[in-house]
């Protein structure tokens, strides 16, 4: 594909629909409902146009924001790509959000509407919600079928906004990261080069598509005219069955899902697959890497990224990776590692990773309706990641810790401050401190330490309160009531002492 042919993200689909119309673009597998759906590039192009005409009929126009609140599915992909074709900004959210969380993201993003499925509880958030019975293509066709299959694409430029994705920061509420068409295109070109993608590749996507990782992985393989095999969710039991059936060639996992596969039941057929490469995020131990190679014999490379960079920042090389590291910084960035005094560090000296890129091209446009936070995060085209790392003598980057109050749990960035803010709203809670405890499978578990206002309080009622106000992966696994917190001289809670005392 000639780079000059890519004027926006929609160019990718239009070109392959013209040159390879019968090539499979998407395969969807719903593990729980035993549903399998396949769409070619030609069919995908038509479905996108029909969806655009549906959205146009509902008074959508360029730069409007559409909140897509749908699980992994072909309708999700169609809505995302139709937004790109129309110049609409797709706001993709976790379909398991509570009403409180969804309402905040809807209002903060300035979305015009929500499209969700019937099981989502989003009533009373928008007067013009569109609710599908389920997330199958058949059901979605009922919504768009009467509309024309021709649509003249909008004049969408590289600088136009493409998505808003919410990520947990250090405040009590998530921030909406704005990525442009240029952000995505620069990233997927770089990713497709690093992974050596070609038109014969099939990327096996078990990760959620509302995430940056899922989106750039999907778009990178489509850029090359390959196929995406999308699963409704990750399943260790079904992982290799699906991989073998659809002859997938690469996949993306989290450290936690790698561990789930390592402890899963062994099958004779599991090595009879075509997977040449699996990317993974977050640390896996050296022993686990050995176990993986002995059992599966599939090449792994650790990567690292964040929403503020539209995904991947660093990756290990396919040949001779150092998978205890996060790999090397992509060549579309320059970087510095700064110590607490703002000075460049030496090899093996830890400091904050700062990326030099170009805002709107390799760095996000900014946080939606958060100008001050944007200015604090990006200074003179340098993005302060908040991650403490060090480099070795070969420029491989190693993760040490988060500078701010964020827990990395099974691939999710979770703000401890957001959880604390929710729990403090309980009438029986006086003070709260939330910390992450290392866990062999999930990377970290969430523990909430609470000083109650009175003794008439139970762990059960706190957990139920959290379930109402927080998506499931943010709900603390353990609630611990204490009389007081260990404090610094200036009155700050010493979280590391809480961890030490209650191991």
Range of the domain at 83: 41-156
Are the CB atoms for 178 and 422 separated by under 8 Å? Answer: no
Q: What CATH number is associated with residue 93? A: 3.40.50.980
By C-alpha distance, which of 248, 212, 244 is closest to 230?
Answer: 248
3-state DSSP helix/strand/coil % of the chain, to nearest 5:
30, 30, 40
Q: How many residues would you count in the chain?
A: 503
**Residue 491: predicted pLDDT:** 59
**Residue 63: predicted pLDDT:** 96
Work out the burial of residue 276: count CB atoms within 10 Å of its CB; fewer than 13 is exposed, 13-18 middle, 19 or more buried. middle
Cβ within 8 Å of residue 432, ≥6 positions away: 420, 423, 424, 448, 449, 450, 451
Domain count, the chain: 2
Q: Is residue 496 part of a domain?
A: yes
Work out the burial of residue 14: count CB atoms within 10 Å of its CB; fewer than 13 is exposed, 13-18 middle, 19 or more buried. middle
Q: What is the DSSP letter of 256?
A: H
Phi-psi region of 386 (alpha: psi -120 to 50; beta: other; left: phi over 0): left
Q: Is residue 152 part of a domain?
A: yes
Predicted TM-score (pTM) of the model is: 0.85
**Residue 172: predicted pLDDT:** 60
Of 124, 156, 188, the last residue of a domain is 156
- Reading the block at residue 469, the tokens are 């106000």
Q: Is residue 469 part of a domain?
A: yes
Are the CB atoms for 111 and 60 separated by under 8 Å? Answer: no
Q: Which residue has the tokens 């996507």?
A: 205
Of 112, 130, 156, the last residue of a domain is 156
Q: Is residue 75 part of a domain?
A: yes
Digitized pLDDT (tens) for each residue of the chain, 503 residues in all: 555 678 899 999 999 999 999 999 999 999 999 999 999 999 999 999 999 999 999 999 999 999 999 999 999 999 999 999 999 999 999 998 989 899 999 999 999 999 998 765 555 566 568 888 888 999 999 999 999 999 988 899 999 999 999 987 555 678 999 999 999 999 999 999 999 999 999 999 998 999 999 999 999 999 999 999 999 999 999 999 999 999 999 999 988 899 899 999 998 899 899 999 999 987 788 889 999 999 999 999 999 999 999 999 999 999 999 999 999 999 999 999 999 899 999 999 989 999 999 999 999 999 999 999 999 999 999 999 998 899 999 999 998 877 767 787 877 778 887 898 899 889 899 888 998 888 888 888 899 999 898 878 999 999 999 999 999 999 999 999 998 888 755 456 777 678 777 76
Q: Is residue 189 part of a domain?
A: no
Of 156, 186, 204, the last residue of a domain is 156
By C-alpha distance, which of 320, 282, 324, 322 is closest to 304?
Answer: 282
Q: Is residue 126 part of a domain?
A: yes
Phi, psi at residue 321, to the nearest 5°? -75, 155
**Residue 128: predicted pLDDT:** 62
**Residue 84: predicted pLDDT:** 98
Q: What CATH number is associated with residue 479? A: 3.30.300.30
Q: Is residue 86 part of a domain?
A: yes
């Amino acid at each position: 594909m000639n780079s000059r042919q890519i004027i926006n993200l929609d160019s990718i689909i239009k070109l392959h629909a013209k040159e390879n119309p019968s090539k499979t673009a998407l395969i969807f597998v719903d593990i729980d409902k035993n549903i399998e759906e396949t769409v070619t590039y030609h069919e995908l192009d038509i479905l996108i146009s029909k969806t655009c005409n549906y959205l146009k009929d509902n008074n959508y126009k360029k730069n409007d924001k559409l909140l897509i609140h749908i699980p992994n599915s072909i309708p999700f992909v169609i809505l995302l790509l139709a937004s790109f074709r129309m110049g609409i900004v797709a706001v993709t959210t976790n379909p398991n959000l509570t009403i409180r969380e969804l309402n905040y993201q809807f209002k903060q993003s300035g979305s015009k509407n929500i499209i969700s499925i019937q099981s989502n509880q989003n009533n009373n958030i928008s007067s013009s919600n569109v609710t599908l019975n389920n997330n199958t293509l058949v059901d979605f066709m009922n919504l768009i079928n009467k509309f024309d299959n021709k649509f003249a694409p909008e004049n969408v430029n590289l600088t136009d906004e493409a998505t808003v994705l919410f990520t947990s920061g250090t405040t009590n509420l998530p921030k909406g990261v704005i990525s442009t068409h240029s952000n995505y295109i620069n990233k997927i070109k770089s990713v497709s080069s690093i992974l050596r993608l070609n038109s014969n590749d099939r990327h096996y996507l078990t990760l959620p598509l509302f995430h940056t990782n899922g989106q750039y992985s999907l778009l990178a393989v489509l850029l090359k005219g390959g196929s995406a095999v999308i699963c409704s969710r990750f399943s260790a039991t079904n992982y290799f069955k699906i991989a073998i059936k659809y002859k997938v060639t690469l996949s993306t996992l989290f450290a936690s899902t790698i561990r789930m596969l390592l402890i899963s039941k062994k099958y004779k057929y599991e090595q009879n697959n075509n997977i040449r490469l699996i990317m993974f995020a977050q640390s896996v131990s050296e022993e686990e890497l050995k176990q993986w190679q002995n059992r599966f014999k599939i090449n792994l490379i650790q990567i690292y990224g964040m929403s503020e960079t539209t995904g991947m920042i660093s990756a290990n090389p396919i040949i001779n990776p150092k998978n205890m590291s996060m790999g090397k910084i992509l060549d579309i960035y320059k970087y510095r590692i700064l110590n607490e005094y703002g000075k460049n560090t030496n090899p093996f000296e830890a400091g904050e990773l700062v990326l030099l890129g170009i805002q709107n091209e390799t760095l996000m446009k900014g946080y939606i309706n958060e100008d001050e936070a944007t200015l604090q995060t990006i200074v003179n085209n340098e993005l302060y990641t908040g991650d403490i790392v060090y480099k070795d003598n070969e420029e491989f980057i190693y993760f040490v810790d988060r500078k701010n109050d964020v827990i990395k749990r099974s691939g999710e960035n979770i703000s401890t401050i957001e959880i604390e803010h929710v729990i403090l709203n309980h009438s029986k809670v006086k003070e709260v401190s939330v910390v992450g405890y290392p866990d062999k499978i999930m990377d970290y578990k969430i523990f909430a330490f609470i000083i109650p206002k009175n003794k008439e309080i139970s762990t059960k009622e706190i957990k139920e309160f959290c379930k109402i106000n927080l998506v499931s992966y943010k709900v603390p696994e353990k609630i611990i009531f204490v009389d007081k917190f260990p404090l610094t001289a200036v009155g700050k809670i010493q979280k590391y002492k809480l961890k030490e005392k209650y191991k």
